[in-house]
Amino acid sequence: MTDTDAAALAERVREGDLRLYELEKHADADTAAAARRLLVAEHSGVDLSTSGAYAFDAADAESNVENMLGAIQIPLGVVGPVEIRGGALSGEHYLPMATTEGALLASVNRGCAALTTAGGAGARVLKNRMTRAPAFRVADVAEAEALSSWVRDNVGALREAAESTTSHGELKEATPYVVGNTVFVRFGYDTKDAMGMNMATIATEEACDVIEAETTASLVALSGNLCTDKKPAAINAVEGRGRTVAADVSVPRETVEGTLKTTPEAVAEVNTRKNLVGSAKAGSLGFNAHVANSVAAMFLATGQDAAQVVEGANAITTAEVDGDGDLYVSVTIASLEVGTVGGGTTLPTQSEALDVLGIRGGGDPAGSNADALAEAVAVAALAGELSLLSALASRNLSSAHASLGR
């Protein structure tokens, strides 16, 4: 690529010979990006040289973004190492986290230190179901009931159709829901190491063809919002979406007092009054302190769909003093949508972050790497919850931010 090539391409856009989205057809991806920078800089009067100083080939991002002109760089940090005793991830691991929020990694790192001192955090994926829920129109409630019965009786036929579109995904369930003359069918898939939203959508469309051919139903929308993707939803809190994952730890009293500068009783009370009672009074779907912080930072670092932090914040934190006087804390995330293949995971820097965890690409058995990532995110969230609850219990939250200059 040369500046002359980019300038010539930009001139063709100015003259109306080309459109922005057509540039890749007439030049390599980096030249096309440079031409767009020239045009946007000229229009806005902004110097975009920093946005243009990215370290990977623009062609590597062609499946991830359209009309590329550069890249946004988000600071990448690390917490740990933290001892994890998971079903798919075990041993000491550094956790990569990308954020612009000062003090976040310092807080999570303090929690990681407490987890490791306590012998590590347990973690398990409890359920794996990526969902897609199309909406069908029928004549009346009698037809709605008939369609629901047909779906329940013909899951095998729907599975055969759906799985014909993929060599990896498995249809695990198809559950009908009726609202008047609208029937939603919530399809649930095991998508292995892929986050699986595209996989589920394509498979569900094939299954919908079977429903329309065999019943009186008409498909209105391939997504009827009962899925529910990228929106707060109680159904995700109850039934789960993506991975339902939990992490927990029992922190000895001496560690709570020495490392976290508080007591098990104080942490448990803060959690009850803040995360449980306060969240209930607010009508919240997430009963936690700041799980979204850890989810978002790990999503950005590892190439996940950032908008799905909405569902990833759907978590409940518990804290109690156990029979030995130690502090038991758990985080259960109902709908964590993660993958280690496809999407943003293929980008160079995000691939490196997955390599830090040792879980890039497809795992053996299939699904194990995505399970491992879910467990890592849950442990990061647990560390963040433990640290923040302890800071609140010791009344050190504002002083910690002040000392870090945040």
Tell which residue, 196, 171, 183, 181, has the closest CA to residue 134. 183
Q: In the annotation, is 401 catalytic?
A: yes
Annotated active-site residue 214? The verdict is no
Answer left, alpha or beta for residue 230, where phi above 0 means left and psi between -120 and 50 means alpha.
left
Residue 369 phi, psi dihedral angles, 5° rounding = -70, -40
8 Å CB contact between 133 and 224: yes
- Check if the beta carbon of residue 13 is closer than 8 Å to that of residue 7: no
Q: How far is the C-alpha of 290 from the C-alpha of 288, rounded, in Å?
A: 6
* Dihedral, 235, 239, 241, 244 alpha carbons, nearest 10: 130
Cβ atoms 32, 68 nearer than 8 A: yes
What CA–CA distance (Å, rounded) separates 254 from 356? 32
Pairing of strands 121-132, 242-251: antiparallel
Q: Which amino acid is at 178?
A: V
- Set 83, 193, 229, 305: catalytic member: 305
- 49 contacts 40 by C-beta, under 8 angstroms: no
Active-site residue, selected from the candidate residues 24, 60, 101, 163: 101
Rounded (10°) CA dihedral 47, 350, 308, 336: -160
DSSP state of 347: S
**Rg of the chain taking only CA atoms, in angstroms:** 24
Q: Tell me whether residue 305 is one of the annotated catalytic residues.
A: yes
Q: Are 243 and 192 in contact (CB under 8 A)?
A: no
Alpha helices in 193-285 (DSSP H): 197-214, 234-239, 253-258, 264-270, 279-282
Rounded Cα gap, residues 112 and 121, in angstroms? 9
Nearest partner of 183 among 218, 227, 155, 153, judged by Cα? 218
Cβ atoms 353, 376 nearer than 8 A: no
In the block, which residue shows the tokens 């973004």?
65
Written as six digits, the tokens of 258 are 């020495």
Q: Which of the residues are catalytic?
A: 101, 305, 401
